[in-house]
Structure 1
């Protein structure tokens, strides 16, 4: 049986046509990060609304599998660069265009302008006369200490990335900063489509432990893992009994272990590496998320996950942080991106912990709400495309 013939298991929302949606992306779980979580949650929540979803992606090993009700087709990737970007095989555009026609796809969803599969997906979709919704996740050019990667990524942004943003039928962006960047780079217009999270699965009382500090992110330059450790050391030198844990893998994980030991924090900070998503939520529960990134981030879902788990956040100024604070979330935004500013923000946050977030605030930032918004956008895009 082909995947086109697989039975539908969901009932579409009342009065809404059942859509056939293909998400074309460079990366998808089991690879894990903010982008992968966004795409997977979007796929599953659209499926929950009754739509049929395919994910077309690339990885080191090709496969065809089911991820719940999501049909995932993985082709082989080539020429990996810095464990971030890789390329599909020659002929992938034609193969995807043929797939879209054979499966009567209604709309294609692409993500992040500099990934080759966004360019390939858009070209294939238009060859098959299918509209494209592109979601931009970055709020600026790639921030990296590597000059070759910085130059190369900017060249990609100003060529392939600009093409994607100019030719997509609708451009969404996960924050106002990402929308402004997309428009500077070439999008005619970009609508804000905020990131979201799955609702907390925890029931029962939560231990309030604001002095337990949590870092979540890849152990790479710019994410701020060194700043996190330096801040914990500074707090403890001032007599503040802070503890911590660091969650995430990456090329500098070994260096994180070494710095933790050098600062005398091995007994109070657990450098855990990569853990399942459920354990990330458990770590954030009642804790304080520390977010000292200096990269060009999109809207980081860890901010939402922390407040959803009745925790608090101390962060550098990143997309979404001030918005959430203005809505009443317990977020402290540091005035500058320095260790001293972070230590000052943490000292304030720990001396007078902010009230935990309300259930109503959190509900508006969950995927069931966001998927219905995407459904409405998709229906509008399909209708307008048919009238052209």
Structure 2
């Protein structure tokens, strides 16, 4: 039960799609309910995708289901018994519908929390509204869940502080095979992968590359992603002294992202309230050196032995120094066991074990 699903793209969307696919591969019948006015449902597949009509989305992210959506979902679910309901991120309306529907059906609700703090990078009015939603809808969802999974230690702390609920860490995952295949030879390439929106730090990535351009005449900056700042980025890049070496790719499939990351220096200058970023997992699996703000996933991966340098976003000189060091020194290859721990196959089996533990008689 999610607000947004593919073809919408983002961390939560990719997480839910990968989890649904892997659970289906384990023999589970999966139905995804989401809000989407434009994309047809896929009713014959597994996972089955049921797209429901909704209001226009605020910021392209937050839409509301129309009245009667819960009844519509209940009618669809009468076709077969329901084992459990899965919800994702506390403030989405579909998470609240999922929690309430689980109570009515007498089945467990497993909630996965992807946020580690209140929403950042928004206007004061939106920030105030988001806090009110957290303290009302968010608490109802978290307290109403049978089990709360948190994709990082920071998310677990946030859940405890917001709702007094003790969650358990359930780290994000990736298809590791897509990123470990192929060589990881050293490349004179700096890569940013993420949304092109305020707070994600694309400006710092560009400014850092500009400072290093003279010392590394073959260096290129590759920017992968899309968002509300895409036009501003294009204008800034066109006026940059690095203009002929800035490549703006837009959204790319995993195979192309993996190709760009191999042997590169990956920049993660975000200042937003991140969960457990899959882009960091992808970069480490692909053999990239990573320079990142000290978000939870970066701290975790550094403690596990990954080649990561942590730098505060407010220190641009330190960013230049650390990216220079990463360009000069090939990345240390990650331990195979660490990369294996990222894979969705093992994570989906862990999720299914949680579902089984909540079934009657287990």
TM bracket, shorter-chain basis: over 0.9
1:222 partnered with 2:199 = yes
Which among 307, 315, 335 is matched to residue 330 of structure 1?
307
What is the Cα deviation at residue 62 of structure 1? 5.9
What is the deviation of 1:100?
3.4
Q: Which of 87, 98, 105 is 1:121 aligned to?
A: 98
Task: Show the 5 A alignment for 1:301-380.
Answer: 301-335=278-312, 337-380=314-357
Counterpart Cα distance in 2 of 1:167 and 1:207: 46
1:234-264 Cα shifts (integer Å, max 9, x gaps): 1124457531110111111011011112222
Residue among 87, 99, 105 paired with 2:82: 105
5+ residue gaps, structure 1, are 1-23
Structure-1 separation of matches of 2:348 and 2:308: 26
What is the match of residue 9 of structure 2?
Answer: 32
Aligned to 1:50: 27
1:206 maps to 2:183? yes
Whether 1:181 aligns to 2:158 is yes
Q: If the length of structure 1 is used for normalisation, what is the TM-score?
A: 0.88
Q: Which residue of 2 aligns with 1:14?
A: none
Deviation per CA, 1:304-324, whole angstroms, max 9, x where unpaired?
111111222110111121211
Q: Structure 2: how far apart are the matches of 1:198 and 1:258?
A: 34
The equivalent of 1:157 in structure 2 is 134
160-169 or 255-264, which deviates more: 255-264
Structure 1 segment 184-199 matched on structure 2, within 5 A: 184-199=161-176
The separation in 1 between residues aligned to 2:204 and 2:337, in whole angstroms, is 33
Equivalents in 1 of 2:134, 2:44: separation in Å?
31
Equivalent pair of 2:179/2:258 in contact (CA under 8 Å):
no
Change (3 A) 1:111 1:187: farther
SS of alignment partner, residue 231 of structure 1: helix
TM-score by length of 2: 0.95
Aligned Cα RMSD in Å?
1.9
Provide the rounded CA distance (Å) in 1 between the counterparts of 2:231 and 2:41.
Answer: 34
**Which residue is 1:60 aligned to?**
37
Partner of 2:274: 297
Shift of 1:209: 2.9
Write out per-residue CA displacement over residues 44-77 of structure 1, whole angstroms, 9 at most, x where no aligned residue.
1111111110101111236321585210000112
What's the secondary structure of 2:156's corresponding residue? helix
Among 82, 86, 104, the alignment partner of 2:63 is: 86
Counterpart-to-counterpart distance in 2, 1:143 and 1:168: 25
Partner of 1:157: helix, strand, or coil? helix
Paired with 1:164 and 1:277, the residues of 2 have a C-alpha distance of 32
Say yes or no: does 1:70 pair with 2:53.
Answer: no
Q: CA deviation at 1:136?
A: 0.2
Q: Deviations over 1:134-186 (max 9, x none)?
A: 00000100002412211111111111011101111100000000111011110
Residues 1:65 and 1:186: Cα distance change in structure 2 (over 3 Å): same
Task: Give secondary structure in 1 for the equivalent of 2:232.
Answer: helix
In structure 2, stretches of 5+ residues that fail to align are none
Deviation at 1:95, TM superposition (A): 2.4
Q: Distance in 1 between matches of 2:251 and 2:97?
A: 31
Q: CA deviation at 1:99?
A: 3.2
1:176–1:204: structure 2 CA closer, same or farther, 3 Å change rule?
A: closer
- Output the CA distance in 2 between the equivalents of 1:211 and 1:67: 46
Tell me how far 1:358 sits from its aligned partner: 2.6
Q: Does residue 167 of the first structure (1) align with residue 144 of the second (2)? A: yes
Does the Cα contact within 8 Å between 2:178 and 2:255 map onto a contact in 1? no
Deviations 1:202-244 (A, max 9, x none): 6865152353111111111001010100000011244575311
Q: Report 1:274-293 matches (<5 A).
A: 274-293=251-270
- 1:130 Cα offset (Å): 1.6
The 1:368/1:349 distance shift into structure 2, 3 A limit, reads same
**Contact 1:132–1:170, Cα closer than 8 Å, also in 2:** yes
Residue 235 of structure 1 is matched in structure 2 by 212
Flag the structure with higher strand content.
1
